[in-house]
Amino acid sequence: MKRLYDDDLYRFDTPQRSYWEATAGDLDVEAVPLTGNESCDVAIIGGGYTGLSAAYHLARNYGVDVRVLEAGHIGWGASGRNGGFCCLGGTNLGAKQLIRKFGLEEARNWYRAQVESVELVREIGAEEGLDFWPQGDCEYIVAHTPRCFDELRDTCDLLTGKLGIDANMIGGEEFRERFYDSTEQYGAMREGPTFGLHPLRYCKGLANAAASNGAILHDRSEVVDWAKGEDGTHSLTTRGGMLRAKRVIYATNGFISEDLRREYSGRTLPIISAIIATRPLSDEERAAQGWQTDQPMANTRRILNYYRMLPDGRFLFGGRGHGRGGAIKEQETYTSLKRLLGTLWPHWADVEVEYGWRGLICFTGALRPSIGQLEDDPSVFHGFGYHGSGVAMATWSGSKLAEWIGTGSMPKLPAVAQGLGRKFPLPGLRFNYLQMGIAASRWLDNRR
């Protein structure tokens, strides 16, 4: 298969050594590799939130005969590895850029969809009785320089004044008293409605709910060939079997196999994001940094960090991963994340890190997600490109794809998420573009 990173990032038979894998528990339902010749109405490639949400909504709301083909185990990809921020997001375009590009009405539609997406995860959790360890009710974007606090204030005015988002600013001193102290803390913007969750428990819960409603799940079933017959039937070949389907949803996001369908090749830029988790911190250790919150947090660095205190007192700290997927750069990533953690919270500089893991998020050339149907083949649907914020948005995307297929007509989608977006010019150079983008971001981070 043609993919952008080293093979190490695509070992579908190997789970990450993550805190989530260690604490998720088993699936309640059966998932087995595809064998022999099978058929269904809708086949879904990818067993993360996009694919599983689509399967769940198709089976539950429309009684559709649906199967999911997942190369690893259920939740092997980003959906089992993320920071667990069930948050607003999905594009890499700021509020101002969105208004300029799409107009105020469409920007509002897009923000409404983001709020809806977070609420959808809460609803699924409540309806299906999912035990995904929810924490908090908003997110704090913490200014890492005084100038960034001023920029955040402008964003906050736009979000509350024009885009219907619940947000407010908190000065540095008040923030220190109520949340934590750090070497890079100059106040923050609170933004709702975000909450923290256990991503793999959520993913497995979604899979359980999909299967209980009739969806069939095949794990360890990497699709290695995709053909379409003259009668319009798709044939998806795995190493163990073949699945024929009238329609296909392509839901592989950052772990895309570039050569399965030419229409999707060269459109995405997967980027490594990585996370470390410390051992549980004692009450005294937390008090040393004035830490007193379980709300999810991120900073304003362009090479962003995201962090949360987990229910058992471990500190989760995430950021950009180094290199092209090889093992040496993987270790460098965890070392540099630990070093940065110690710089930002000096009292925790020597706390042991017990877990480190990484995965691929998915950018697109248009810097916005794509939820849709192929123009030249209306039997093929897709949802991808959540720009590192897909816990809620991928769930929403899957539900919209299910509605599209279940009702036979396109649901109301914000213009921001429509259209396949352009291919990258000279797609073979995408990794070089990324390196240039990182260098520019680092330079800007040092100047802000």
Ligand X SMILES: Cc1cc2nc3c(=O)[nH]c(=O)nc-3n(C[C@H](O)[C@H](O)[C@H](O)COP(=O)(O)OP(=O)(O)OC[C@H]3O[C@@H](n4cnc5c(N)ncnc54)[C@H](O)[C@@H]3O)c2cc1C
With binding defined as CB under 6 A, does residue 40 bind ligand X?
no
Q: Which two tokens stand for residue 150?
A: 């001023």
In the complex, minimum distance from the CB of residue 161 to ligand X, in angstroms, rounded to a whole number? 25
Cα–Cα distance, 322 to 355 (Å, whole number): 17
Segment near ligand X (CB under 6 A); pick from 102-110, 250-258, 284-292, 335-343? 250-258
Task: List b or e across 315-328, with b for residues whose CB sees 16 or more CB atoms inside 10 angstroms.
Answer: bbbbbbbbbebeee
Segment near ligand X (CB under 6 A); pick from 31-39, 66-74, 136-144, 414-422? 66-74
Single residue of 51, 365, 406, 414 touching ligand X by CB under 6 A = 51
Cα–Cα distance, 213 to 233 (Å, whole number): 25
With binding defined as CB under 6 A, does residue 389 bind ligand X?
yes
Q: For residue 68, which of 202, 171, 203 has the smallest C-alpha distance?
A: 203
In the complex, minimum distance from the CB of residue 74 to ligand X, in angstroms, rounded to a whole number? 8
Cα–Cα distance, 76 to 254 (Å, whole number): 12
Segment near ligand X (CB under 6 A); pick from 94-102, 131-139, 179-187, 386-394? 386-394
Segment near ligand X (CB under 6 A); pick from 55-63, 107-115, 122-130, 387-395? 387-395
Q: Where is 100: in which H helix or E strand?
A: helix 95-102
With binding defined as CB under 6 A, does residue 390 bind ligand X?
yes
Q: Where is 50: in which H helix or E strand?
A: helix 49-62
Q: For residue 270, which of 2, 57, 28 has the smallest C-alpha distance?
A: 2
Contact 162, 155 (CB under 8 A): no
Contact 383, 369 (CB under 8 A): yes
With binding defined as CB under 6 A, does residue 170 bind ligand X?
no
Single residue of 59, 107, 391, 402 touching ligand X by CB under 6 A = 391
Site track for ligand X across 341-360, x = CB under 6 A? -----------------xxx
Q: Residue 261: which residues within 8 A CB-CB, separation 6 or more?
A: 226, 250, 380
Q: Which is nearer to ligand X, 285 or 396 (CB)?
A: 396
Read off φ and ψ for residue 36, nearest 5 degrees: 65, -160
With binding defined as CB under 6 A, does residue 370 bind ligand X?
no
Cα–Cα distance, 3 to 237 (Å, whole number): 18
Burial classification of residue 447, based on how many CB atoms lie within 10 Å of its CB (0-12 exposed, 13-18 middle, 19 or more buried): exposed
With binding defined as CB under 6 A, does residue 372 bind ligand X?
no
Contact 201, 133 (CB under 8 A): yes
Single residue of 87, 113, 167, 344 touching ligand X by CB under 6 A = 87
Q: Which two tokens stand for residue 38?
A: 């099978």
In the complex, minimum distance from the CB of residue 409 to ligand X, in angstroms, rounded to a whole number? 23
Segment near ligand X (CB under 6 A); pick from 32-40, 247-255, 322-330, 416-424? 247-255
With binding defined as CB under 6 A, does residue 125 bind ligand X?
no
With binding defined as CB under 6 A, does residue 381 bind ligand X?
no
In the complex, minimum distance from the CB of residue 320 to ligand X, in angstroms, rounded to a whole number? 10
With binding defined as CB under 6 A, does residue 109 bind ligand X?
no
Q: For residue 406, which of 118, 66, 69, 112 has the smallest C-alpha distance?
A: 66
In the complex, minimum distance from the CB of residue 35 to ligand X, in angstroms, rounded to a whole number? 15
Using CB under 6 A as the binding rule, the residues of this chain from 206 to 225 that contact ligand X are 222-223
Which residues does residue 142 pair with via DSSP β-bridges, in sequence order? 188, 299
Residue in the shown chain whose Cβ atom is closest to ligand X? 390
Q: Where is 154: in which H helix or E strand?
A: helix 146-161
Single residue of 351, 394, 413, 420 touching ligand X by CB under 6 A = 394
With binding defined as CB under 6 A, does residue 71 bind ligand X?
yes
Q: Which is nearer to ligand X, 285 or 344 (CB)?
A: 344
Q: For residue 43, which of 226, 202, 264, 280 has the smallest C-alpha distance?
A: 226
Q: Which amino acid is at 243?
A: L
Longest dimension (CA), the chain: 68
Q: Which is nearer to ligand X, 79 or 300 (CB)?
A: 79
In the complex, minimum distance from the CB of residue 298 to ligand X, in angstroms, rounded to a whole number? 9
Single residue of 165, 210, 269, 275 touching ligand X by CB under 6 A = 275
Positions that interact with ligand X (CB under 6 A)? 12, 45-51, 69-72, 76-79, 81-85, 87, 89, 222-223, 251-255, 257, 273-275, 306, 318, 358-361, 384, 386, 388-391, 394
